[in-house]
Amino acid sequence: MGQGTPTSLPLGDFKPADQWQTHVNAIFYGIQGPSIHDHFQTYVSRDHRLAHALTEEFLSAARENPAPVLNVQEWGVGNGNLAGCFLSHVKELDAKGKVYPRIRYALCDYSNEILKGARQNPRLADHAGRFFPILVPADYLDCFPSQSVQQIFSNEIWDDLATRVLLKDGDLLYEEYLQPCLDPAMAGMDFDTLKTFFNDGNRAELARVPSLLSAIVWERSFQRVDLSNWPFHEVLEAHAGEMAEGIPVPVNVGAFATLERARDLLAPGGMGYTGMDYGMFSMREVNAEGRPYFNIYGGQYTSMVNFELLAEVGKAIGFAEVTREYQHDFVGRRLGDRVASIVELVQRHPGTRNMQPWDRDILMLQTLQAVNGTYRSPYKHRMTYPALPGTPKKQRKQIAQLVEHLSTRGVPDTVAYVTETEVRATLSQLNKLGYREKEIRSVFDSPRDPISFVCLHFR
């Protein structure tokens, strides 16, 4: 399975996948800070609808909860937008002031750069004294007393945490090993010096070569493995019994650790731990042939989340109630409508497959403009949408003009939820852009992909 180029040299030895994954991710977040969202967006990094759905679920339980202090923790906080939208929405809905004044919201992250950025998020400016950035790894978190937290949230952190990969072949199981390799021409310094900085995780020095992580070529190999000394090996052996042969299956051991921490920290009668991420909803998707099991964004190495296994581990840890639902259904239930993202809408446009990337950007912006005709965000936001490198002058100008005319109360991002009603109300403009009824219907109707956004609730 090696993918190295003939010129690339190893930056280190082959090691189980989780070891290199966590190593490069710590470098990625340490170097990037809040500019991570130049590489990827999430459903909470600009949008408010998932955050508001979580807030409303929280509020209905919090009103009945007599605890004098409601400790809420978010693990892996990104730019702090989820925290800002959560606190703003609680404040707005809690007219009698019964809940908001009791909240202490801890923004927990292992990257100081990320926490510095989150602290500056303008949406948090109104909530001074109510939120507390805390530098701590999510799979460790020994600095809080047991049973002291009412609610825990995390979004898109499990896919970053240590993940081992299993492969079944007949009665035998194999584990994936990775080796990072690099073309020395990409090192930007003497290769051996860079190798030392990389292995030491020296962020100050590695920040001088920000393109390093995305230039890494990962060599892969599989080695025989015995599960008996893996965490939760009994749950894992049962899972392996259900696995199809020849399909790499992620085992998100770092996510298991967060569940153990959550179980210890959550107060009895609290609201529990709600974690959101993307991956395989059930065994059917785990065994779907050809589905991806990892992804690399700007050098960050992410693994698909095996929600089936995570739910089983949650039960083994002692959670009394473990529920799973598609994230789109969770948000849609709260809004009383079906929802999709603008990205999903654009992906279904009949012309996108043959378009140049800049023409796809123009279509994206025109689609946003059309839906903005009915959409009104409760938050003001000016969208930035830089043209891709290589965009011709004419299209670059058009992109800049379209961005300038986007409403500050419009859909806040391309990864943002819009309802079927909002989309249908702009049907005539969407038709003019080339969308047909069947594509619009399929965005809201189609069966879920093998990799989907999912919420897991543990109580």
Q: Report residue 285: phi and psi, to 5°.
A: -75, -35
Q: Which stretch binds ligand SAM (CB under 6 A): 1-9, 135-143, 320-328, 329-337?
A: 135-143
Distances (CA, A) of 282 to 59, 215, 377: 29, 34, 34
Q: Which is nearer to ligand SAM, 77 or 152 (CB)?
A: 77
| Residue selected from 17, 27, 31, 44 as contacting ligand SAM according to rule CB under 6 A | 44
The CB-of-258 to ligand SAM minimum distance in angstroms stands at 9
Tell me what percent of the chain is helix, strand and coil, each rounded to the nearest 5.
Answer: 45, 20, 35
The bridge status of strand 417-419 relative to strand 339-341 is: antiparallel
Is 51 one of the binding residues for ligand SAM (CB under 6 A)?
Answer: no
Is 47 one of the binding residues for ligand SAM (CB under 6 A)?
Answer: no
Q: Which is nearer to ligand SAM, 134 or 335 (CB)?
A: 134
Contacts with 432 (C-beta within 8 Å, 6 or more apart), sequence order: none
Is 21 one of the binding residues for ligand SAM (CB under 6 A)?
Answer: no
The CB-of-453 to ligand SAM minimum distance in angstroms stands at 11
The CB-of-96 to ligand SAM minimum distance in angstroms stands at 30
Is 332 one of the binding residues for ligand SAM (CB under 6 A)?
Answer: no
Q: Which stretch binds ligand SAM (CB under 6 A): 73-81, 205-213, 343-351, 360-368?
A: 73-81
Distances (CA, A) of 412 to 245, 348, 368: 43, 20, 9
Is 265 one of the binding residues for ligand SAM (CB under 6 A)?
Answer: no
Q: What is the DSSP string of 350-380?
A: TTGGGS-HHHHHHHHHHHHHHHTTT---SS-
Q: Which is nearer to ligand SAM, 94 or 159 (CB)?
A: 159
Beta carbons of 34 and 115 less than 8 angstroms apart: no
DSSP state of 393: H
Q: Which is nearer to ligand SAM, 78 or 180 (CB)?
A: 78
Is 57 one of the binding residues for ligand SAM (CB under 6 A)?
Answer: no
Q: Tokens in use for 196?
A: 């030392």
- Quick one: how many helices (H) and strands (E) in the chain? 18, 18
The CB-of-78 to ligand SAM minimum distance in angstroms stands at 3
The CB-of-142 to ligand SAM minimum distance in angstroms stands at 13
Is 73 one of the binding residues for ligand SAM (CB under 6 A)?
Answer: no
| Residue selected from 29, 86, 218, 458 as contacting ligand SAM according to rule CB under 6 A | 29
Tell me which residue of 253, 262, 254, 259 sits closest to 227, measured CA to CA.
253
Q: Which is nearer to ligand SAM, 111 or 398 (CB)?
A: 111
Pick out residues in 374-433 that bind ligand SAM (CB under 6 A). none
| Residue selected from 11, 77, 235, 311 as contacting ligand SAM according to rule CB under 6 A | 77
Report the DSSP beta bridge partners of residue 256: none
The CB-of-127 to ligand SAM minimum distance in angstroms stands at 18
Is 45 one of the binding residues for ligand SAM (CB under 6 A)?
Answer: yes
Q: Which stretch binds ligand SAM (CB under 6 A): 136-144, 315-323, 336-344, 419-427?
A: 136-144
The CB-of-42 to ligand SAM minimum distance in angstroms stands at 3
The CB-of-74 to ligand SAM minimum distance in angstroms stands at 7
Q: Is the dihedral of CA 243, 248, 249, 251 positive or negative?
A: positive
Q: Tokens in use for 91?
A: 């404040």
Q: Give the other-Cβ count within 10 Å of 355's Cβ.
A: 14
The CB-of-261 to ligand SAM minimum distance in angstroms stands at 10
The CB-of-455 to ligand SAM minimum distance in angstroms stands at 13
Instruction: Identify the residue whose tokens are 């473990």.
Output: 322
Is 371 one of the binding residues for ligand SAM (CB under 6 A)?
Answer: no
Q: What is the DSSP string of 14-62?
A: -EEHHHHHHHHHHHHHHHHGGGGGGT---TTTS--HHHHHHHHHHHHHH
Beta carbons of 248 and 167 less than 8 angstroms apart: yes
Is 42 one of the binding residues for ligand SAM (CB under 6 A)?
Answer: yes
Q: What is the DSSP string of 119-171?
A: HT-GGGGGGTTTEEEEE--TTT-TTS-TT-BSEEEEES-GGGS--EEEEEETT
The CB-of-397 to ligand SAM minimum distance in angstroms stands at 31
DSSP state of 209: -
Q: Residue 103: exposed, middle, or buried by beta-carbon count in 10 A (0-12, 13-18, 19+)?
A: buried
| Residue selected from 16, 84, 133, 137 as contacting ligand SAM according to rule CB under 6 A | 137
Q: Which is nearer to ligand SAM, 230 or 278 (CB)?
A: 278
| Residue selected from 139, 285, 420, 422 as contacting ligand SAM according to rule CB under 6 A | 139
Interface contacts to ligand SAM, rule CB under 6 A: 29, 42, 44-45, 75-78, 109-111, 114, 137-139, 155-157, 160-161
